[in-house]
């Protein structure tokens, strides 16, 4: 009898607590609420952290009700923002995978509770990888203080450092890359007096001295061969040019650039005269998912920096034989951007081999400070290209990468304030239809307002990165391994 009363009272308490987070509106609005981040009508995976948000306009309170098509609901109330309990959120998304959520927001504006028109959140049945790896860097040009490469689990808000430049005084850490999202094979650079290329393969870590007599620089932009036996790198003479006008800040240019392939097992670099030329700039290599094709950007060489606005890169390819480590004898131009007075950067093939995503700009190869930069999709089978209008904005869309199942992509965008790049994730279905992108969720929606660092090179990872930084610190104080040049 007493146990029944206890259970009954407990049930009433739960119901009352849930209902107490709902409010009776004083009025209703026909329009949807303006919220930040804007999660209205987005498509998300079932294993994403709670999409906490706040009102864009001044509000003295917010109450949110979420109901799933297949069942389940959440009610929360807050003074400044809506914060959803992680466990209930996860259960709700799991129950409604492949369905949608209906979100109703009621906000206290001018002492009146206003209920806004509901919006949907679509829960895709396509899973997403474990997390993201990215560099956080202040938007400086010549000097830097603290920076690092970090990782973030997508199902939670957990972030921790993979490596920070404080490990080695005066260094810069950059250009992290993984083989098919697998962090067991990883490449990253440490720039500075004790610098080198860190190569981690199946637990073995080494630091490479990558300058050879035939290359113009150390290794720069990387991309792993799907087998893990090779890594393609560009070698670049990089310079910065500063603008006098307030609308443009800085231009990053190459005075020379080539592409090589590093043989991991034999510690040697592979070359082709086709992609090491004086009359062209070649950069941003990437392998096709079957490993038989090397994609890259190529532009007719110009006198730099005077003609930097005349440099326009095309999307090109050359055959690669992974058994012999040799290249084909011709270069194919897949998309002639120069013919339409445009330029291509960051070509990234989808793991299923169907698409190549790239950024299109007016000129040059470094789109990060180009407000006109947009994402485009090249259909490999059809040879057709179209803009990803659903993902693009009026400001910069730059670096991007694919999830392991080709159903999601992450990209950097300056759409929020034009100054800092932030990571957005979007869904791409099997027919190439793109969903509305969503900002990487944070526990407090004000996080991005207060963060003075940009997200640089967001990459999907299929599990947590395990890098022994003490080993890296020790190796940085050694002579390192000299890379050989294949004769």
Q: Give the pLDDT score at 120.
A: 98
pLDDT grade for 487, boundaries at 50, 70 and 90: confident
Element (H, E) at 449: helix 447-450
Q: Give the pLDDT score at 241.
A: 60
Element (H, E) at 322: none
- Read off the pLDDT of residues 244-266 as tens digits, 9 standing for 90 and up: 455 556 677 778 899 999 999 99
The DSSP call for residue 166 is G
Q: Give the pLDDT score at 16.
A: 32
Does pLDDT of 471 surpass 70? yes
32 vs 40: CA distance, rounded Å: 9
pLDDT grade for 171, boundaries at 50, 70 and 90: confident
Q: Give the pLDDT score at 476.
A: 87
Under a CB-based contact definition with an 8 Å cutoff, are residues 63 and 76 in contact? yes
352 vs 131: CA distance, rounded Å: 20
Going from the C-alpha of 389 to that of each of 239, 291, 376, 377, the distances in angstroms are: 32, 30, 8, 10
Mean pLDDT score, 190-207: 89
| Sequential DSSP letters for 191-212 | ESTT-EEEEEETTEEEEEE---
The DSSP call for residue 107 is E
Strand, helix or coil for residue 365: coil
Q: Give the pLDDT score at 127.
A: 97
Nearest-CA neighbor of 176 among 388, 460, 486, 457?
A: 457
Give phi and psi for 314, each to the nearest 5: -105, 160
pLDDT grade for 211, boundaries at 50, 70 and 90: very high
Mean pLDDT score, 409-415: 97
Q: Give the pLDDT score at 210.
A: 93
Mean pLDDT score, 175-190: 95
Going from the C-alpha of 364 to that of each of 149, 201, 307, 414, 478, the distances in angstroms are: 26, 33, 10, 18, 37
Mean pLDDT score, 59-71: 97
Count CA atoms closer than 13 A to 315's CA, side-chain side.
Answer: 29
Q: Give the pLDDT score at 354.
A: 98
Q: Give the pLDDT score at 3.
A: 39
Are 24-124 and 131-481 equal in CATH topology? no
Nearest-CA neighbor of 205 among 477, 479, 468?
A: 468
Does pLDDT of 8 surpass 50? no
Q: Give the pLDDT score at 188.
A: 94
Q: Which residues pair with 299 in a beta bridge?
A: 281
CA 266 to chain centre: 31
pLDDT grade for 9, boundaries at 50, 70 and 90: very low
Write b or e for each residue in 140-175: b if 16 or more Cβ atoms lie within 10 A of its Cβ, otherwise e: eeeeeeebbbbbbbbbbbeeeebbbbebbeebbbbb
Q: Give the pLDDT score at 247.
A: 59
pLDDT grade for 17, boundaries at 50, 70 and 90: very low
| Averaged pLDDT of the chain | 91
Does pLDDT of 105 surpass 80? yes
- Read off the pLDDT of residues 23-36 as tens digits, 9 standing for 90 and up: 899 999 999 999 99
In CATH, what number does 131-481 get?
2.120.10.30
- Read off the pLDDT of residues 458-467 as tens digits, 9 standing for 90 and up: 999 999 999 9
- Read off the pLDDT of residues 213-225 as tens digits, 9 standing for 90 and up: 989 999 999 999 9
Mean pLDDT score, 160-183: 91
Under a CB-based contact definition with an 8 Å cutoff, are residues 207 and 476 in contact? yes
Count CA atoms closer than 13 A to 411's CA, side-chain side.
Answer: 33
Q: Which residues lie closer than 8 Å to 442 by C-beta, 6 or more apart?
A: 52, 157, 448
**∠ CA(169), CA(174), CA(175), 5° rounding?**
155
Under a CB-based contact definition with an 8 Å cutoff, are residues 313 and 343 in contact? yes
Q: Give the pLDDT score at 172.
A: 86
Query: Domain spans of the chain?
Result: 24-124, 131-481
Under a CB-based contact definition with an 8 Å cutoff, are residues 189 and 197 in contact? yes
In CATH, what number does 24-124 get?
2.60.40.3760
Does pLDDT of 140 surpass 90? no
């Amino acid at each position: 009898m007493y146990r029944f009363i206890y259970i009954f009272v407990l049930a009433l308490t739960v119901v009352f607590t849930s209902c107490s987070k709902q409010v009776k509106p004083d009025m209703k609005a026909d329009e949807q609420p303006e919220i930040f981040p804007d999660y209205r009508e987005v498509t998300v995976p079932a294993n994403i952290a709670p999409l906490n948000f706040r009102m864009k306009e001044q509000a003295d309170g917010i109450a949110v009700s979420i109901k799933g098509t297949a069942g389940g609901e959440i009610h929360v109330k807050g003074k400044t923002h809506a914060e959803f309990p992680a466990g209930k959120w996860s259960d709700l998304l799991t129950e409604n995978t492949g369905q949608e959520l209906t979100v109703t927001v009621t906000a206290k504006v001018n002492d009146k509770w206003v209920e806004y028109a509901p919006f949907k959140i679509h829960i895709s049945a396509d899973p997403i990888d474990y997390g993201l790896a990215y560099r956080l860097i202040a938007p400086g040009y010549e000097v830097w203080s603290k920076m690092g490469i970090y990782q973030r689990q997508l199902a939670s808000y957990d972030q921790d450092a993979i490596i920070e430049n404080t490990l080695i005084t005066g260094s810069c850490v950059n250009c992290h890359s993984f083989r098919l999202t697998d962090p067991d094979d990883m490449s990253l650079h440490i720039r500075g007096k004790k610098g080198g290329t860190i190569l981690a393969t199946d637990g073995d870590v080494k630091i490479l001295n990558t300058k050879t007599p035939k290359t113009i620089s150390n290794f720069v932009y990387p991309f792993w061969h799907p087998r893990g036996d090779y890594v393609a790198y560009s070698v670049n003479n990089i310079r910065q040019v500063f603008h006098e006008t307030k609308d443009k800040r800085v231009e990053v240019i190459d005075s020379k650039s080539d592409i090589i392939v590093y043989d991991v097992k034999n510690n040697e670099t592979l070359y082709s005269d086709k992609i090491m030329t004086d009359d062209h700039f070649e950069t941003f290599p990437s392998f096709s998912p079957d490993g038989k094709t090397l994609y890259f950007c190529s532009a007719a060489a110009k006198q730099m920096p005077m003609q930097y606005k005349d440099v326009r890169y095309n999307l090109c390819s050359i055959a690669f034989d992974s058994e012999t480590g040799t290249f084909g004898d011709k270069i194919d131009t897949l998309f002639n951007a120069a013919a339409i007075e445009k330029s291509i950067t960051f070509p990234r093939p989808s793991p299923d081999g169907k698409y190549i995503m790239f950024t299109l700009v007016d000129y040059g190869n470094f789109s990060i400070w180009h407000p006109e930069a947009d994402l485009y999709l090249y259909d490999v089978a059809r040879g057709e290209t179209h803009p990803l209008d659903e993902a693009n904005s009026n400001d910069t869309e730059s670096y991007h990468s694919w999830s392991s199942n080709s159903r999601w992509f992450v990209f950097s965008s300056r759409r929020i304030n034009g100054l800092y790049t932030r990571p957005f994730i979007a869904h791409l279905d099997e027919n190439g239809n793109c969903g509305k992108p969503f900002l990487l969720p944070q526990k407090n929606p004000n996080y991005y307002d207060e963060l003075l660092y940009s997200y640089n090179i967001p990459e999907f990872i299929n599990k947590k990165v395990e890098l022994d930084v003490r080993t890296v610190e020790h190796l940085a104080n050694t002579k390192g391994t000299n890379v050989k040049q294949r004769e």
